[in-house]
Amino acid sequence: MFVLGIDPGLSRCGYGVVSRRRSALVAVAGGVISTSPEVPLPERLRVLAVELRSLVAQYRPSAVVVERVFFQVNARTAMATGQAAGIALVAAAEAGCEVAQLTSNEVKQALVGYGGASKDQVQRMVASVLGLPGPPRPPDVADALALATCYLTMQPLRRAVAAATTSTSATDGAGERATLPPGAQGFGVDVS
């Protein structure tokens, strides 16, 4: 199973492919797709779309995880990041991949145990979990690998929550059938 993580950006879009092999997670590939600010926006978006579609076709990931922009001080940067994220989401959907979006705080919380962790802490944890000799560089690649790693480490919990949410055989102790209502957040975890 391959998972493709995308750290969206218009000038620099990081990607990382992680695979689960038995009980270990392994970094398969990582890199950055770059576009020049001197090139017109439609052409930059086209190049990004072509490159992302190529990655999806090459690795055929089971899932694509795109960082969700939660907060951005600079509106121009936020727009560019949103456009790049949209291109990544379309490339994944066109290929029929499962698509997930995670904020950087969700990734930090899952990997480091603290939503305010530094980039350096995340990079060191990614290196540790993936058995890399050092933190992945550049940071765009590290962030993309972190997204894919986070998704794969959360996958068993996602399955358990999905099973609990859709199960109709659970009882409430009094012998009556009980089910979670549609959209319930089993175990207090948002799996959407």
74-112 pLDDT, tens digit per residue, is: 788 888 899 999 999 999 999 999 999 999 999 999 888
Share of the chain above pLDDT 90, in %: 64
Which of left, alpha, beta for 113 (phi over 0: left; psi -120 to 50: alpha)? left
Residue 100 near residue 151 (C-beta atoms within 8 A): yes
Cα–Cα dist 45/109, whole Å = 31
Q: How confident is the model at residue 163, as a pLDDT?
A: 64
- Prediction pTM value: 0.80
Share of the chain above pLDDT 70, in %: 79
Whether residue 114 has pLDDT greater than 90: no
Between residues 32 and 159, the one the model is more confident about: 32
Q: How confident is the model at residue 192, as a pLDDT?
A: 34
Q: How confident is the model at residue 161, as a pLDDT?
A: 58
CA distances from 16 to 2, 55, 184 (A): 10, 10, 31
Between residues 111 and 169, the one the model is more confident about: 111
Judged by DSSP in three states, 61 sits in coil
Q: Identify the residue whose tokens are 């959907």.
A: 93
Residues with a known catalytic role: 7, 67, 140
Q: How confident is the model at residue 156, as a pLDDT?
A: 61
> Chain-wide mean pLDDT for the chain?
83
Q: How confident is the model at residue 106, as a pLDDT?
A: 92
Cα–Cα dist 61/9, whole Å = 20
Domain spans, the chain: 2-145
CATH superfamily of 2-145: Ribonuclease H-like superfamily/Ribonuclease H (3.30.420.10)
